[in-house]
């Protein structure tokens, strides 16, 4: 399973924030491959998998949007009932905490992004 790095942006939860981030990346020619946007206590956290991390960070910095990076795992699995349960059960058995997960499915395959407390331990558990 490939490791990846996702961009993380913490911002006020208000209309237009995701649109602004998406526009900045789009104008810079950066493709958003995965996105997860959540909100808690009036703050939003946007997590992005992008086609070019360095250019994305540069474009966001130029737009005065602060961002960070976070390691993640990218799992490709069969799109069927129970597939995610099987993978996350292995992580639970290895006592690896899943901090964030998001996915998409198409054509019989699912792509799952997992942010875990210990990526190396998670890779061993899922191997």
Is residue 31 pLDDT above 80, yes or no? yes
Task: Tell me what pLDDT residue 1 has.
Answer: 63
Q: Which of 47, 41, 51, 48 has its CA nearest to residue 13?
A: 41
Domain that holds residue 108: 72-126
| pLDDT surpasses 90 at 16 | yes
CATH number of the domain bearing residue 17: 3.30.2130.10
- Report yes or no: 103 and 110 within 8 Å, Cβ to Cβ: yes
Cα–Cα dist 61/81, whole Å? 41
Average pLDDT, the chain: 94
CATH number for the domain spanning 105: value is 3.30.70.260
Angle (CA) 105 111 117, round 5°: 135
Please, which pLDDT band fits residue 11 given cuts at 50, 70 and 90?
Answer: very high
Total count of domains within the chain: 2
Model pLDDT for residues 41-81, shown as the tens digit of each residue:
889 999 999 999 999 999 999 999 999 999 999 999 999 99
Same domain flag for 83 and 94:
yes
Does residue 50 sit in the same domain as residue 94? Answer: no
Same structural domain for residues 13 and 66?
yes
Note the pTM of the prediction, 2 decimals: 0.87
60 and 93: one domain? no
List, as one string, the DSSP characters of 66-114.
--EEEEEEEEEEE-STTHHHHHHHHHHHTT--EEEEEEEEETTEEEEEE
Q: How many CB atoms lie within 10 A of CB 52?
A: 14
């Amino acid at each position: 399973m490939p490791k990846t790095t996702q961009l993380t942006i913490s911002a006020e939860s208000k209309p237009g924030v995701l649109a602004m981030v998406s526009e900045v990346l789009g104008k810079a020619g950066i493709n958003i491959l995965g996105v997860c946007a959540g909100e808690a206590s009036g703050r939003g956290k946007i997590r992005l998998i992008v086609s070019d991390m360095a250019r994305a960070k540069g474009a966001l910095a130029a737009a005065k949007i602060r961002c960070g990076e976070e390691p993640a795992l990218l799992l490709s699995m069969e799109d069927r009932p129970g597939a995610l349960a099987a993978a996350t059960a292995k992580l639970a058995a290895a006592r690896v905490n899943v901090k964030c997960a998001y996915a998409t499915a198409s054509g019989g395959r699912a792509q799952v992004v997992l942010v875990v407390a210990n990526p190396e331990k998670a890779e061993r558990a899922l191997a």
